[in-house]
Amino acid sequence: MEKWWQKAVVYQIYPRSFQDSNGDGIGDLQGIIQRIDYLKYLGINTVWLNPIYTSPNDDNGYDISDFRGIMAEFGTMEDFDELVTVLKANGIRIVMDLVLNHTSDEHPWFIEARKSKDNQYRDYYLWAQGYEGKEPTNWESFFGGSLWEHDEMTDEYYLHLFSKKMPDLNWKNEKLRQEMYAIAHFWSEKGVDGFRIDAVVHIDKDTTYPQAANDGGRPYVMADQYYANRECVHDYCQEFHQHVLAGTDIMTVGEAASASIEEALRYTAPSRQEFDMIITFESTSFDIDPMLNPSVPPKWTQKKPDLLEIKASWMKWQDGLYGKGWNTLYWNNHDMPRVVSRYGNDVEYHKESAKMLATVLYGLWGTPYLLQGEEIGMTNVAFETLAEYRDVEIQTFYREALATGSVSHEEAMAMIHSRSRDNARTPMQWDDTIFSGFSDVKPWIGVNKNHAQINVATSMSDDNSILAYYKKLIELRTTSVYSDVLTYGKTTLLLPEHESVFMYTRTWKNQILAVVVNFFETEEQIQLPFTIDTCLLHNYHTLDYVDSILTLRPYEACWFIVSE
Ligand code: GLC
Ligand code: CA
């Protein structure tokens, strides 16, 4: 059965950094309304908003203190209702971030819960006693350090997978679950079209709290088996489905960092009634190498990606879910460095490589998600001082890395420059004015200096811009006569052993679309096993194709309609 989200192209808005409308340096809801024409121009049909709920902003809104309120800095509930109305009037659907795993420590439930062991909200959270004079377990927080925080008031520890200002909720408590379903209801009744469900695979934990095996050099360790993809998570997802989703066409995308294919099928097979699709992190980990520096968490390391590994991984997901579940496609989000700086070349081949990356990923089967600024090729940023960074994770990382004694200040800063989440969170580059058209005053986080060259205004006046290319690509996927083959076509990998060229076809009814890209900078020649009928998308002006030999220049990339 066809679903609206199968042809969605989802544009992720990080509200804090999209557009400031009232001159306080912080993006807001009225700012998004001001930019609706741009979203229409780009041709996307869905937006996903990062959290806009009331929050003390320890983790930029993922730490929520009122699930039914709007963050004062972003505006009011009237602004939100207006945004929904304006989006809908322009044919754009809205997906909200829904945070079910934790609250802020300033949420009234937690303020109550910590007061005493018999408080009626105590059991909404996860508490344990110390073990041998230390934390209850040696599990590591995703933001570094222990995931336990000692609470003086009752001399117990509470569990927090993320920052210590984000205590985890206890989903084993039925009353808590009902509260969370009611919150989702509240937003669905406001006309929201979908939910991106944050960190959802972590909602159930092993509350016998075993110690995890630790053979590394760090005091705390990741212990996924005790807090990720546990059996009960599926029960809760199904319960969520019954209470919130049944009978609606609300789309759900679960954030499932470490899910395997088998897990993904359990989350997304329509018959199981859990989610429509999930986001995993596999596709954004190809340049990580934990062996490079065992004294820091893996995400801070970096190596050159291996294309064979990328092909194998993508094909595993294309084949594994096709006809059984649904897939997501993304290069960027607010938690990752910018893709053109990771896998492309953001200096000599900025345009070519940014377009190549779009061509190869968004030709695949699945729903594309792109992060604001990706469509103009926004790059990583390198602030000179630690103080210019805003992300809570960066500050913890820096402290812990230096404390190991084996990472210098310079090394830590280099890791932050290439890997930190703030790379994705600098203000949207609308034009070349001092604050990039984002605000009239100094923004909450610095603007990338390259906004003088990389910005929307310049891109709009250039037919050859990355923006023009994304616009074309989005139109092909959503409204053109090729949108069916792009949406439903089966993927077949060609040249599986080639180390630089990525080539595959998508087949649907009697149409065959071929995607051919050179993933790196050296020139490559390949023989095409088909005849080119039409070239739909190409990041160079001419095609070097003689006697069925195609010569691919650095990062050259195409979509063709072909026949066998
Ligand atoms: C998700 C979000 C991330 C946030 C975390 C805690 O991974 O994408 O930004 O820090 O959950 O809510
Ligand atoms: Ca503002």
Same domain, 187 and 332: yes
198 is catalytic: yes
Atom from ligand 1 closest to the CA of residue 161: 6
Atom from ligand 1 closest to the CA of residue 102: 12
Q: What is the CA angle 90-91-95, rounded to 5?
A: 110
Same domain, 311 and 361: yes
| Gap from CA of 198 to ligand 1 centroid (Å) | 6
The answer on pLDDT for 385 being more than 80 is yes
Ligand that lies nearest to the alpha carbon of residue 299, given by its number in the listed order: 1
CATH of the domain at 134: 3.90.400.10
Q: Which residue has the tokens 């009928």?
A: 533
| Gap from CA of 281 to ligand 2 centroid (Å) | 32
| Pairing assessment for the beta strands 367-371 and 10-13 based on DSSP bridges | parallel
* Residue range 306-362, pLDDT digits in tens: 999 999 999 999 999 999 999 999 999 999 999 999 999 999 999 999 999 999 999
Same domain, 357 and 269: yes
CA separation, residue 100 to residues 26, 170, 275, 294, 315 (Å): 25, 10, 14, 32, 31
Contacts of residue 397, defined as CB under 8 A and 6 or more positions apart, other chains included, come to 143, 144, 296, 297, 300, 412, 415, 416, 420
Same domain, 251 and 349: yes
Report the candidate in 368, 388, 400 with the shortest Cα–Cα distance to residue 449: 388
Assigned domain for 477 exists = no
Q: Which residue has the CA at smallest separation from atom 2 of ligand 1?
A: 198
Same domain, 29 and 153: no
Same domain, 139 and 195: no
Boundary (domain end) residue, out of 468, 502, 537: 468
| Gap from CA of 50 to ligand 1 centroid (Å) | 10
Same domain, 339 and 230: yes
CATH of the domain at 413: 3.20.20.80
Assigned domain for 351 exists = yes
Assigned domain for 481 exists = no
Please tell me which residue in 59, 63, 198, 374 is annotated as part of the active site: 198
What is the enclosing helix (H) or strand (E) of 436?
none
| Gap from CA of 201 to ligand 1 centroid (Å) | 12
Same domain, 422 and 279: yes
Distance in angstroms (rounded) separating the CA atoms of residues 309 and 306 = 5
Q: Which whole number is the average pLDDT over 82-86?
A: 98
Distance in angstroms (rounded) separating the CA atoms of residues 415 and 300 = 6
What is the enclosing helix (H) or strand (E) of 47?
strand 46-49
Same domain, 298 and 441: yes
Structure tokens at 137: 């377990």
Question: Phi and psi (nearest 5°) for 118?
Answer: -105, 15
pLDDT attached to residue 454: 98
Assigned domain for 165 exists = no
pLDDT attached to residue 79: 98
The number of beta carbons lying within 10 Å of the beta carbon of residue 316 is 13
Percent of the chain as helix, strand, coil, to the nearest 5:
35, 20, 45
Q: Which residue has the CA at smallest separation from atom 4 of ligand 1?
A: 62
Number of domains in the chain: 3
Three-state SS across 186-248? HHHCCCCCEEEEECHHHCCCCCCCCCCCCCCCCCCECCHHHHCCCHHHHHHHHHHHHHHHCCC
Same domain, 96 and 118: no
The parent domain of residue 147 ranges over 108-159
Identify whether the C-beta of residue 555 lies closer than 8 Å to the C-beta of residue 356: yes
CATH of the domain at 505: 2.60.40.1180
319 is catalytic: no
Q: Which residue has the CA at smallest separation from atom 7 of ligand 1?
A: 199
Please report which confidence band the pLDDT of residue 294 belongs to, taking 50, 70 and 90 as the band edges.
confident
Query: DSSP letters along 545-563, please?
Result: EETTEEEE-TT-EEEEEEE
Distance in angstroms (rounded) separating the CA atoms of residues 299 and 181 = 33
Assigned domain for 482 exists = no
Distance in angstroms (rounded) separating the CA atoms of residues 424 and 91 = 27
Q: If phi over 0 gives left and psi between -120 and 50 gives alpha, with beta otherwise, what is residue 19?
A: beta
Same domain, 65 and 133: no
Q: Which residue has the CA at smallest separation from atom 3 of ligand 1?
A: 335
Same domain, 349 and 380: yes
Please report which confidence band the pLDDT of residue 293 belongs to, taking 50, 70 and 90 as the band edges.
confident
* Residue range 514-556, pLDDT digits in tens: 999 999 999 999 999 999 999 999 999 999 999 989 999 999 9
* Residue range 429-459, pLDDT digits in tens: 999 999 999 999 999 999 999 999 999 999 9
Assigned domain for 289 exists = yes
Assigned domain for 483 exists = no
* Residue range 237-270, pLDDT digits in tens: 999 999 999 999 999 999 999 899 999 999 999 9
Q: Which residue has the CA at smallest separation from atom 12 of ligand 1?
A: 62
Distance in angstroms (rounded) separating the CA atoms of residues 338 and 379 = 5
Lining residues, ligand 1, CB within 6 Å: 59, 62, 99, 162, 198-199, 255, 334-335
Query: DSSP letters along 467-479, please?
Result: HHHHHHHHHHHHT
Assigned domain for 544 exists = yes
> Probe ligand 1: pick from 13, 59, 104, max atoms within 8 Å of CB?
59
| Gap from CA of 55 to ligand 2 centroid (Å) | 15
